[in-house]
């Protein structure tokens, strides 16, 4: 990466929040991925805005990172700047039933805040292991709920450095997608509209869903959750199992035996292993059932 750009970033973000050639395996739940040329963690909105404007001007690629829980980064790494919003994690309550969460806040932390303040509606998301920023981009959902149902408004930083507010309908939430997916907009915060509820009931619902996850999902292995989107009229896991692919894999990546919808890292998998497993599963399922599986996982870098 151009040295002048690095020098300019060093004048904006404090040096201890700038990492060169940072291995992305440290920042993805797959625990794989090569180095990002630069990895930065801005401390405040002014820093973030200045960096975004600089990178746009210099035509340098950047990627906004949440918790890396839906992300496969190439073993060759990423020739650009990864921007972590780890410092943007405040959660507060407004008008009794509204939670305002900064983009880097974890869903689990928001769920605890909702429970402690007797607010219901976020239970479905308590076990989704990402940030609310990532959840907005993906319209994350589980057990019959999705972000679309509870999002009132999203505050966003545009590539030109302007802060704008987008209402739910403008976000165009769809199945694991939104209007901002793949765009260079940064989600800064989300306003979530919940309802008054009963603390014990909220806690019990969260616990029940956590148990279901533990029972059904291979949480003991690194993964990115469901690897494929649900094809209309089918379940990806069932198609994969019916194609005889339970346990199938390349290198140390495998289709989970517990839940065929998950590709897992058995220990020493590379991103290539995972990518090849995904690709071959797609081919074989298509051959056997005629259904094209589309990855839900986001790929970053060259494969
Ligand atoms: C064990 C396991 C279980 C899972 N279960 C579910 C589930 O039940 N339901 C479900 O929907 N998903 C599930 N997932 C997938 C994943 O947790 C979700 O997609 C989650 O919403 C991703 O959030 P993240 O913060 O990790 O985003 P990342 O993976 O870091 O990023 C995902 C995308 O969002 C973008 N992004 C992140 N933050 C911002 C921001 N602030 N501004 C702009 N862009 C941003 C990234 O650039 C990227 O394009 C699971 C994953 C795992 C590992």
The per-residue pLDDT for range 241-256, each reduced to its tens digit, is 999 999 999 999 999 9
> Is residue 303 over pLDDT 90?
yes
Pocket of ligand 1 (CB under 6 A): 29, 63-71, 85, 103, 128-131, 133-135, 137-138, 140-142, 186-187, 217, 219, 223-225, 298
pLDDT tier, 154 (very low <50, low <70, confident <90, very high otherwise): very high
Nearest CA, atom 35, ligand 1 = 134
Nearest-atom number in ligand 1 for the CA of 106 is 25
Nearest atom in ligand 1 to the alpha carbon of residue 137 is 34
The mean predicted confidence, pLDDT, of the chain is: 97
Say what the pLDDT of residue 43 is: 96
> Quick one: CATH architecture of 236-300?
Alpha-Beta Complex (3.90)
Q: Among all residues, which ones are annotated catalytic?
A: 176, 226, 296
The pTM of this model reads 0.97
**What confidence tens digit (pLDDT) does each residue in 181-198 have?**
988 899 999 999 999 999
Q: Which are the contacts of 16, defined by CB distance < 8 A and separation ≥ 6? A: none
Taking residue 204's Cβ as centre, other Cβ atoms within 10 Å add up to 12
Confidence category of residue 2, pLDDT binned at 50, 70, 90 = confident
How far is ligand 1, taken at its centre, from the CA of residue 288, in Å?
30
Q: State the fold for domain 91-216.
A: 3.30.465
- pLDDT tens digits along 194-237: 999 999 999 999 999 999 999 999 999 999 999 999 999 999 99
Ligand 1 pocket mutation pick from 128, 139, 185, 221 by most atoms within 8 angstroms of CB? 128
Q: Are 36 and 21 in contact (CB under 8 A)?
A: yes
Exposure b/e, 213-228, CB count within 10 A at least 16 = b: beeebbbebbbbbbbb
Residue spans of the domains in the chain: they are 3-84, 91-216, 236-300
Pocket test for ligand 1, best of 134, 144, 150, 210 (most atoms within 8 A of CB): 134
- Write down the pLDDT at residue 227: 97
Centre of ligand 1 to C-alpha 68, Å, is: 6
Q: What's the pLDDT at 1? A: 80
C-alpha 4 – ligand 1 centre gap (Å): 32
Which tens digit of pLDDT belongs to each residue from 5-46? 999 999 999 999 999 999 999 999 999 999 999 999 999 999
Q: How far is the CA of 266 from the centre of ligand 1 (A)?
A: 21
Q: Which pLDDT belongs to residue 172?
A: 97
pLDDT tens digits along 270-300: 999 999 999 999 999 999 999 999 999 999 9
Q: What is the reported pLDDT for 184?
A: 85
Q: What is the pLDDT of residues 69-84, one digit of tens each?
A: 999 999 999 999 999 9
pLDDT attached to residue 182? 87
Q: Residue 289: exposed, middle, or buried by beta-carbon count in 10 A (0-12, 13-18, 19+)? A: middle
Determine contact, residues 186/164, Cβ cutoff 8 Å: no
The CA 126 to ligand 1 mean position distance, Å, reads 13
Under 8 Å between Cβ of 103 and 157: no
Class of domain 3-84: alpha beta
* From 29, 63, 69, mutation site for ligand 1 pocket: most ligand atoms within 8 A of C-beta: 69
pLDDT computed for residue 271 by the predictor: 98
Strand partners, 39: 19, 82
Q: Which residues have CB under 8 Å from 271's CB, separation 6+? A: 30, 32, 33, 34, 72, 73, 74, 75, 303
């Amino acid at each position: 990466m151009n040295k002048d750009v690095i020098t300019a970033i060093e004048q904006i973000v404090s040096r201890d929040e700038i990492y060169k050639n940072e291995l992305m395996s440290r920042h993805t739940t797959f625990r794989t991925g090569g180095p990002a040329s630069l990895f930065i963690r801005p401390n405040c909105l002014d820093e973030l805005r200045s960096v975004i404007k600089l990178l746009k001007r210099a035509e340098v690629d950047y990627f906004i990172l949440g918790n890396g829980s839906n992300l496969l980064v190439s073993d060759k790494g990423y020739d650009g700047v990864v921007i972590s919003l780890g410092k943007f994690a405040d959660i507060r309550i407004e008008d009794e039933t509204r939670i305002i969460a900064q983009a880097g806040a974890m869903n689990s932390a928001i769920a605890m805040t909702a429970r402690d303040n007797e607010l219901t509606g976020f239970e479905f998301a308590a076990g989704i292991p990402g940030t609310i920023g990532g959840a907005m981009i993906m319209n994350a959902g589980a057990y019959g709920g999705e972000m679309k149902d509870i999002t009132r408004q999203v505050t966003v930083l545009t590539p030109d450095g302007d802060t704008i507010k987008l209402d739910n309908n403008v976000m165009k939430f769809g199945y694991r997608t939104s209007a901002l997916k793949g765009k260079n907009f940064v989600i800064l915060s989300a306003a979530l509209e919940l309802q008054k509820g009963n603390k014990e009931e909220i806690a019990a619902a969260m616990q029940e869903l956590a148990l279901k996850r533990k029972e059904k999902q291979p949480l003991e292995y690194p993964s990115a959750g469901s690897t494929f989107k649900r094809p209309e009229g089918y379940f990806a896991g069932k198609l994969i199992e019916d194609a005889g692919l339970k346990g199938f894999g390349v290198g140390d990546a495998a289709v989970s035996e517990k839940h065929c919808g998950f590709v897992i890292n058995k220990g020493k998998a590379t991103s290539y292993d995972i990518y090849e497993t995904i690709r071959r599963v797609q081919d074989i399922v298509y051959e056997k059932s005629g259904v094209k599986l589309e990855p839900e996982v986001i790929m970053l870098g060259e494969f």
